[in-house]
Structure 1
Amino acid sequence: MTAQPYDSWTSHLGDLTFELNAPASWSAQQRRYLADYLPGPLGDQNFGAFRLIVQPDDARCEEVARDANRPPVARHLEPVPGVVLTETRTPTGARSYAVAADALEHQTRAYAVRVHGRSIELYLHSTARRPHAHPLRLMREAMLRTYEDHGGVVFHSAGVDIDGHGVMIVGPRSAGKTTLLTCLIRATRGALLSNDRLILDHQRRLVAVPLPVPVARGTVEAVPELADAVPGLSRPQRPVDTLPTTFGTTEKVEFSAREYAAALGTSLAPGSWLRTIIVPRLTDTAEPATIRTLPPAEARRVLSASCFTPRDEFWRQPWLVPRATPDAALQRHAEPVVSNVADTVPCVEVRFGIRDPLGQLERVLPTLERVLP
């Protein structure tokens, strides 16, 4: 039997390089998928490279899954809520992983992973519904853990780069981060960093974490550019008019990062220098748009609640790249970072009731210039 030809290429997540290998018949679609999320390298630091080999092969996937379940299983872990993996280790230090339970996507056979140092082998099963998403998930996990071990701090936040001026939008779920992000991009034509996670490195540089951009029905319908883009999205979507109108709903239209940015007439940015923090307080009311500067103590409380180093509410248990830095040490590092940023970076609260037209919010956002350095 003739060996299947493989394709090799390099991708970047911030300062981290990934050398990818995949079957030539697979790689074109995989490259397109990654291009929808990755803005390119930052380039001013070098965190080394990972090698990621992608093998769509049912037999090999099942073989690695058997290895991961062969006694004695080293441990069971839950990297994200509802997804349980088994892990086994070999005397040489290699690790094998298989999905033991999946309450999130209900795909227990979708993939298996084998890791040895910075070499990662991802085996995909033909039952995987979104197979090209799995490599990016592994790359993102490696990115987050590598940055944390190099002094980076992860925040639950969206971000925009406005000509080198980084704006971090911090807040919990349903605070209105994506709606405010959309309005800020429309008002400034800034480039998208990320929708839901940012890394702040030791130089106060915001590093984009590649993620999809889920947008609620109300925002889609209020922004013609987004509504017009929905029929052409790469991932099939429910019709917008069948989505709930409830404020804070989790059922949304899902854009890739580049699809969202392109719909708004902008691009992706790999990073930016932190200059401003915005705290959205959007409500299901007709409250007019207002802006106020937060005192450092209040800014510190908001940033502390949105700091996800060392504990992220979603990616809560590291696995692919074991942490070199203990959780307690990461906590001791993150706390003074939060305090210093709260004391020295302008932080403003934006209040707005979404029952008013979004244009009112967009008109008030340019007044942020009065607090910008």
Structure 2
Amino acid sequence: MGDTVFRAADALLLLSFGGPERPEDVMPFLENVTRGRGVPRARLDAVAQHYLHFGGVSPINALNRDIIAAVTAELASAGLDLPVYFGNRNWHPMVEDTVARMAADGVRSALVFPTSAWGGYSGCLQYHEDIARARAAFDDGAPELVKLRQYFDHPLLIEAFADAIRAAQRQLPADRRAGARLVFTAHSIPVSADAAAGPPPDGGRLYSRQVAEAARLCAAATGFTDHDLVWQSRSGPPQVPWLEPDIVDHLDDLAAKGVDAVIVCPVGFVSDHLEVVWDLDNEAAQKAAELGMAFARAATPGTDPRFATLVVELISEHLSATEPRRLGGVPGYGCTRNGASCAPGCCAAPRRPSPGN
């Protein structure tokens, strides 16, 4: 894990993806997300219907505000006097506006917690680009900003997911629990983007390897000797290969093998935002019902009290330069100031980046 460059901070910025909070925001939000990617208007219209199904409101901003409230309380308990700010990449509060407010409030240096645990372009480098873009709005006086490290294998994250898997298993009919198949999902990305992510000497597939490692750790923590890793939420032109199989297609395959119960854990997501709710609680759950398959979806960790503890632990680890707590063997990286990359080649940008987590 790479070294960081300063150990002082007087604020925390929670940096996330963003989402609409009223129907009239849906299409402008989607245009922000897909700008420069050549996504057809018909695809945007189709995705817009997912949001409009829930009244045009994505749950992500409200969930992030809940995380901020929990982190604020945890910081106070830990004796850390850090105000917490909230900024987004794609919708209000935009990170540029938040960093301007931080500067006006006198913030000189801040740590940045991203709502993505991963490496790769969408999971890491794009957050550095957000930081750099927000700071570029200043001639001078922009706060120093340091993105906290990747945390995909932090013990508290794995514990929270493990307990959520156990709770989901209990939701299944009693006679199907023992034979239920454990299936992990994460956001799909283009195969080319995944292949490009990872520094020497073991470069390539950093994102998918980290996701696979987190899934392995969660399965081991819950006593499952076998599990599947599949993907969801792909977008972009159909001729571009993305990570597969898709969760819905995989349910068909499981049914063909006689599986009659499934536990789905969205290990790639911090919160139950719209892609989790639509792709899993609607599309995947409906497919399982059509197949006569019992279906239970594990909760994401953002609402678990341990998640706020994890955030504060990452802050304390950075400020005191202590050794990070990690369970896995796949590389994870720390980051440097003001939008610089984690490590050379860690998170290469693809030609057409995916929407992210």
Instruction: With the length of structure 1 as denominator, give the TM-score of the two structures.
Output: 0.27
Which has the larger share of helix? 2
User: Counting strand residues as a fraction of each chain, which structure ranks higher?
Assistant: 1
